[in-house]
Structure 1
Amino acid sequence: MTTLEDVLADLEAESAQLQDWVAPLEADRWATVTTPEGWTVAHQIGHLAWTDEASCAAIKQDPAFAAGMKAAAANPTGFVDEGAEQWAAKEPAALVQAWEAGRQRLAEALRAVPEGEKIAWFGPPMSPTSMATARIMETWAHGHDVAEALGITPPRSDRCRHVCHIGIRTRGFAYLVRGQEAPAVDVHVALTAPSGELWTWGPLDAPERVTGSGYDFALLATRRRHLDDVDVHAEGEHAAHWLTIVQAFAGLPGNDPLRLADR
């Protein structure tokens, strides 16, 4: 069974890896564009730091979190961008320092949540372990954006399992956010980890299946790769459709990722 401490250790490892990539950068490289929407390296790190701060506020039931919920409801398409922009304006060294300190505060706050208590969030309330897993998913995805923009090849670690897990657990949300009805059909998912281990979810006798690379499924679920460019395969019409909309993160899906050949 995966414990909160297991997840927090993986979160720190994923965060430290990204910090090692960005901390030595010259100031001008922090302006490197990482997404089609124009987010820079600074926006990526700023977003992670901002979300850690919001998570701490949610855990402590700080009035700042309630204010953030209202702001998000009033500006659902721009709220996240505004937070990233605010943090990205910091001097790079100060931003790295604030991000590192913030994630340490978050780990301590998550450890202090009473057993069985859920944490309010912009989506459904979450357990401390689920919130820590969501932070890995975000760090992994935004770290991939940064690495790709800087010409870095990220090592393929089994930490991507956390991303796969969220992508599978949020299957129903992927339909909901697109105004579609989720089919009442079970899907068995069997993915091969970078280490070679087999990860499975869902009933073994499910009528439909998804198989392939765990790392590639994580890229697909964070909408960093087009389905045509990953080693992930479906058996069954519902499983096949799910792979076109799978989404591990909350909020609107955004634009579909381009095929690598079209970039």
Structure 2
Amino acid sequence: MSDVLDGVLADLATESDQLRAAVLAADAWDTATPAEGWTVATQVAHLLWTDEVATLAAHADTPEGKEAWDAVVLQALEDPTGFVDASAHEVAALAPGDLVARWDAAHAGLVEALRSRPAGTKMPWFGPPMSPTSMATARFMETWAHALDVYEALVATGSIEALPAPTDRIQHVAHIGVRTRDFAFVTNELDPPAEEFRIELTAPGGDTWTWGPDDASQRVSGPAHDFCALVTQRVHRDDTDLVATGADAEQWLAIAQCFAGPPGGGRVSMSSTTEGEDA
């Protein structure tokens, strides 16, 4: 196991433990979250189900593992736009105690599977094959994003007082957000820009994280937390302090998406919601 993978798994464990503690303390499984039709239970169910599927992918180079992984792929092909949601709702129907137990087991199983992968190998996924580190990073991104939905729901109902303070762990999300720039264009049936962008983000801890050439004409800058929330489509572009220089950079921020699948619906601008209420 590499030091990099070890570090990502440690951050994933911290993020998962924080979410788990909040969910158990609130005991509000049926509370609606910002994701339409998804409760707190659905969010947790989705995370644990994806951990289980990722574990199957990690074992797909064994006869038993390949059979199990192929079955998931066939299910996806039969209902490519609905099977993920259907699986989340199915698992969410479990009793809370059973849901938590399965959640814990899924996370532990994923960690063990990723650590046991031979060095330099990749596992199949619904997009390009992924290394163990890439998979762990993707699982961090999803855990962080779905946790935001849960925290927002628990704040709205008074179960918790405020969203957890951002930490530099979100660098994993920022990294995926930058690397999936071209994917966001392609999934929206647009040609990706040929030019590299310069990305400069201010981390929660105060450091500056950068990607791309210093002299790039297309640029994005601002708070890293805003960028991470935007690329996971947990905030509307208008509700961020991100600054885009160049038409291509501005277009990217309007369609940014770091998760697989068709274009997401994103979030409604808070300013437009407020204006509607005032009217």
TM-score by length of structure 1 reads: 0.96
Equivalent in 225, 242, 252 of residue 252 of structure 2: 242
Identity %: 50
Match of 1:208 in 2: 218
Assess if the C-alpha contact under 8 Å between 1:118 and 1:125 holds in 2. yes
Structure 1 residues 55-93: Cα deviation after superposition (integer angstroms, max 9, x where no partner): 000010122221111211221111111110111011112
Structure 1 ranges of 4+ moved more than 2 A:
none
One-letter identity of the residue aligned with 2:199: V
Match of 1:117 in 2: 121
Partner Cα distance (2:46, 2:98) in 1: 14
Q: Give the greater-gyration-radius structure (CA).
A: 2
Partner Cα distance (2:203, 2:120) in 1: 30
Partner Cα distance (1:57, 1:199) in 2: 34
Alignment of 1:24-39 (within 5 A): 24-26=25-27, 29-39=28-38
One-letter identity of the residue aligned with 1:208: Q
Assess if the C-alpha contact under 8 Å between 2:35 and 2:149 holds in 1. no
Match of 1:57 in 2: 56
Partner Cα distance (2:193, 2:272) in 1: 32
Match of 1:173 in 2: 183
Match of 1:14 in 2: 15
Partner Cα distance (1:75, 1:133) in 2: 26
Match of 2:158 in 1: none
Assess if the C-alpha contact under 8 Å between 2:5 and 2:132 holds in 1. yes
Structure 1 residues 82-133: Cα deviation after superposition (integer angstroms, max 9, x where no partner): 1101110111122112111211111111011111111100111111100000
Structure 1 residues 204-237: Cα deviation after superposition (integer angstroms, max 9, x where no partner): 2222111000011000000010011011111111
TM-score by length of structure 2 reads: 0.91
CA shift in 2, pair 1:210/1:15, >3 Å: same
Offset at 1:255? 1.4
Partner Cα distance (1:36, 1:191) in 2: 27
Moved more, 88-97 or 50-59: 88-97
CA RMSD of aligned residues (A): 1.3
Match of 2:192 in 1: 182
Partner Cα distance (1:241, 1:88) in 2: 36
Offset at 1:261? 2.8
Alignment of 1:1-263 (within 5 A): 3-26=4-27, 29-61=28-60, 62=65, 63-151=67-155, 152-263=162-273
Assess if the C-alpha contact under 8 Å between 1:185 and 1:238 holds in 2. no
Partner Cα distance (2:167, 2:35) in 1: 26
Count of aligned positions: 261
Structure 2 gap segments, 5+ residues each: 156-161, 274-279
CA shift in 2, pair 1:202/1:2, >3 Å: farther
Moved more, 221-230 or 247-256: 247-256
One-letter identity of the residue aligned with 1:20: A
Offset at 1:169? 0.4
Moved more, 71-80 or 54-63: 71-80
CA shift in 2, pair 1:2/1:166, >3 Å: farther
Partner Cα distance (1:223, 1:42) in 2: 20
One-letter identity of the residue aligned with 1:238: D
Offset at 1:159? 1.1
**Aligned partner of residue 26 in structure 2, secondary structure:** coil
Partner Cα distance (2:101, 2:210) in 1: 38
Structure 1 gap segments, 5+ residues each: none
Partner Cα distance (1:55, 1:4) in 2: 15
Offset at 1:35? 2.6
